[in-house]
Amino acid sequence: MRAPTPSTSTRLCGESGIPRGAPGARLVPSGGQGSALATTLAITVANVLASASDPFEGREIAGGKYRIEKYRESDELGRTYLARHLKLDRLVIARVLHGSHLSDELLVNRFNRAGLAASRVRHPNVVDVVDLGEESDGTLYLISEYIDGQSLAELVALEGPMPARRVVDVIKQIAAALQSAHRLGVIHRDLQPDIVHLLTRESDDGELADVVKVLDFGVAKMDVPLGLDRSTGHRTIEMVSGRPEYMSPEQCNGQTLDARSDLYACGCLAYFLATGQPPFSGGALLEILMKQVKEQPAPPSKHVPRIPASLEAIILKLLAKKPEGRFQSARELRDALGRLQLMWGPAESEAAGIDVDISLGGETVEIRNPTAGAEANDEFATPPVVRVPRRQRQRQTVIMERPQTQDGKGAAIRMMAYAVLLAIALGVFAGLYFGEVYVP
């Protein structure tokens, strides 16, 4: 659902993991990194020409259910449009297979398989595929949920590296999407900043919150059969869009993939969000592939020293070269990130160099987190903060200070009360020794 990024993207031959144009590739070379500018210009010109004389704009499809309104972009399979559900008056995204592919049974099967794979993954953090069909003239279309917001690539380009708390929240939502997909046997295998979008929505408590949406599960690999006819040679000509900067070592080597390959890509995404750059970049595409397979990434804190050690440990575990060294499931990753969030506590009321002050009935109560400073290398510029439920406040370290009255009456009243208590105590003491108790 996006135009390719020529300077950083490559199209791979089936599951061989070999870039187009590399030795052993079975498809025509795509031009390499040296022709990135020319390729970018060519794509831009093609998109402008396509939008100027597009045969689908204004056309109704699915028996008049949707109207195609505006051309957006193209990729190797088809064109993407902004469309409208006419009865609901709701914007959707329509993807149409290129007409030149309609006679290619393998590519038609791939398009249908993409739609089926994407439609199976129903999760709040996954862009929802709502329709798939074929027009009377053979045109194939796929309808998905319309989303606004920015991609992670756009967001980091505008704002720079994310704060650690936000990185954890975003990656945890991506892991939730992957957990739902992996449970169905669907591996995404193309996670990258361009296809993860961040929306802003109002939460139940009225606060604005980030909502992650993962796109393009349509290029996913199905580990379970869909009942489609897979002709001989299907795997040798199938093309998968991928960015080497976010590919697992086993994907670079053309090995069999499982869910842990997506977790490696998740680690690359976390590294990118925290530092503003992927763990490996620069140089030729084959050089990046070799780095993914052979080299250990630099610790994220080398680029951004303020990154907490606990978050860095999670990122580096995700980037283990062998799948056995990573988290073994998206659920395991979510649990680790959840524990990190509990340790750090909510971000409200943070202020450099002081503890959290809250108000309880006119008293100033200073609450210090008993676990703060447990990890010397895992401190933010501000101390960790804990939101304390009312029923648990007595368990915290509490320093209470009542404001003094200015006229001195409060002090006099307290002295009189102390005198009465002392008199009662002396009376009880006398009764024990002399047999009589006198209470003044």
Q: Is 381 exposed, middle or buried, given 0-12, 13-18 or 19+ CB atoms closer than 10 A? A: exposed
Q: What is the pLDDT of residue 363?
A: 38
- Does a structural domain hold residue 5? no
- Does a structural domain hold residue 2? no
Q: What is the pLDDT of residue 163?
A: 96
Q: What is the pLDDT of residue 231?
A: 43
- Does a structural domain hold residue 348? no
Question: Domain boundary at 342, 369, 387, which?
Answer: 342
The verdict on 296 and 375 lying in the same domain is no
Question: Domain boundary at 307, 342, 377, which?
Answer: 342
Structure confidence at residue 211 as a pLDDT band (50, 70, 90): very high
State residue 174 phi and psi, 5-degree precision.
-60, -40
The verdict on 288 and 313 lying in the same domain is yes
The verdict on 386 and 429 lying in the same domain is no
The verdict on 277 and 397 lying in the same domain is no
Would you say the C-alpha torsion 286, 292, 298, 299 has a positive or negative sign?
A: positive
Catalytic residue selected from 190, 216, 262, 378: 190
Total tally of structural domains belonging to the chain: 3
Whether the per-residue pLDDT at 26 is higher than 60: the answer is no
Known active-site residue 190: yes
- Does a structural domain hold residue 347? no
Among the residue ranges 73-87, 167-181, 236-250, the one predicted with the least confidence is 236-250
Whether the per-residue pLDDT at 212 is higher than 90: the answer is yes
Mean pLDDT, rounded, of the chain: 73
For the segment 408-425, the average pLDDT, to the nearest whole number, is 59
Q: What is the CATH number of the domain that holds 38?
A: 1.10.510.10
The verdict on 432 and 306 lying in the same domain is no
Per-residue pLDDT of 344-390, as tens digits, reads 987 643 333 323 333 333 333 333 333 334 343 443 333 333 333 43
Q: Which amino acid is at 391?
A: R
Cα distances (angstroms) measured from residue 301 to each of 305, 346, 384:
4, 23, 19
The verdict on 433 and 388 lying in the same domain is no
Per-residue pLDDT of 390-402, as tens digits, reads 333 333 333 333 3
pTM: 0.65
Q: Is 128 exposed, middle or buried, given 0-12, 13-18 or 19+ CB atoms closer than 10 A? A: middle
Structure confidence at residue 408 as a pLDDT band (50, 70, 90): low
The verdict on 417 and 396 lying in the same domain is no
How far apart, in whole angstroms, are the C-alpha atoms of residue 248 and residue 267? 10
The verdict on 293 and 382 lying in the same domain is no
Both tokens assigned to 433: 């020794």
The verdict on 397 and 409 lying in the same domain is no
How far apart, in whole angstroms, are the C-alpha atoms of residue 125 and residue 180? 9
The CA R_g of the chain, rounded to the nearest whole Å, is 30
Question: Please, which residues bridge with residue 360 across strands?
Answer: 363
Comparing 27 with 39, which gets the higher pLDDT? 39
The verdict on 323 and 271 lying in the same domain is yes
Among the residue ranges 123-132, 224-233, 301-310, 315-324, the one predicted with the least confidence is 224-233
- Does a structural domain hold residue 4? no
Comparing 282 with 35, which gets the higher pLDDT? 282
Residue 185's domain comprises 10-342
The SS3 of residue 325 is helix
Question: Domain boundary at 318, 342, 366, which?
Answer: 342
- Does a structural domain hold residue 3? no
The SS3 of residue 166 is helix
The verdict on 50 and 168 lying in the same domain is yes
Per-residue pLDDT of 148-181, as tens digits, reads 889 999 999 999 999 999 999 999 999 999 999 9
Q: What is the pLDDT of residue 16?
A: 37
Whether the per-residue pLDDT at 28 is higher than 90: the answer is no
The verdict on 251 and 384 lying in the same domain is no
